[in-house]
Amino acid sequence: MLERMTEDRRKRVTLQDKIYTRLLQEILSGELEPGSRLLVAHLAARFGTSQAPVREALRRLTEEGLADTTPYSGTVLKEPTWAEIEDLYLLREQLEAFAVRRMFEQRSVKLQSIKAALRDLQRAVRAGDPVWVIDADLEFHRSVCEAAGSALTLEMWNTIVKRQRGTRLTNERRQRDDFSTVVETHQELLDALETGDPNVAEQAFRDHLSKARRRVEEIRLASAREDSTASRENAGL
């Protein structure tokens, strides 16, 4: 009896993970946009499961700040304010600067995974796939955090990036940017790491992320201007 209960629970956990992973992929790719309502019954039918693993998957999304869940209203994907988005970029800048410092405190600085991530980024750019480019870009930075040897740093970085990627601004950046210089800028980061100087490397990462934050703000302002123009045109002004 106990073995059967344990097996049932294991199946539920596996289903929960699959549903969570699929929904997360759809959020990060832009298929599911902020404001989308996630209905338990609809998702259970879609995935061919009971409602229990769906509820658990939605609970995880809510705990990670990607959605809001309220009684009787269900779960809605969250759209952070600009202040929250800016905070996420600033936090990530501090975290990656810390990770770079920690890298140089290790007995040997291991750059193999970072170099592999850069090669994948090169392939993504050649393929002209913006979703792949963003994934490969983030894998480069994730590899840096992993090389720091701090599980907590990597966990915090993952949380920040999930919340960054689930925003409309990130999706708009994917559509607007041509990514023509993305390989060059990440090669510069690798070059900074290869100098062996933690000060040079840390500053390179700070400058890189600060520039990314400013680019997202430019997109936000451009999008707001376009929305304003469209509203005036629709109103016949």
The more confident residue out of 190 and 80 is 190
What is the fold of 82-232? Four Helix Bundle (Hemerythrin (Met), subunit A) (1.20.120)
Q: What is the pTM of this model?
A: 0.74
Identify the residue whose tokens are 């596996």: 14
Q: How far apart are CA 220 and CA 30, in angstroms?
A: 16
Which structure tokens are listed for 201?
A: 């490397």
pLDDT for 122: 96
Is 84 a residue whose pLDDT tops 80?
yes
Give the pLDDT band of residue 2 (cuts 50, 70, 90). Answer: very low
User: What is the H or E stretch that residue 37 is in?
Assistant: strand 37-38
The Cβ of residue 70 has, within 10 Å, a number of other Cβ atoms equal to 9
Q: Report the side by side order of strands in the sheet with 37-38.
A: 37-38, 74-77, 67-70
pLDDT for 173: 59
Give the residue range(s) of CATH 1.20.120.530 domains in the chain.
82-232
Give the residue range(s) of CATH 1.10.10.10 domains in the chain.
15-77
The CATH class of 15-77 is mainly alpha
The pLDDT tens digits for 5-51 are 344 545 556 889 999 989 988 887 778 888 899 999 999 999 999 99
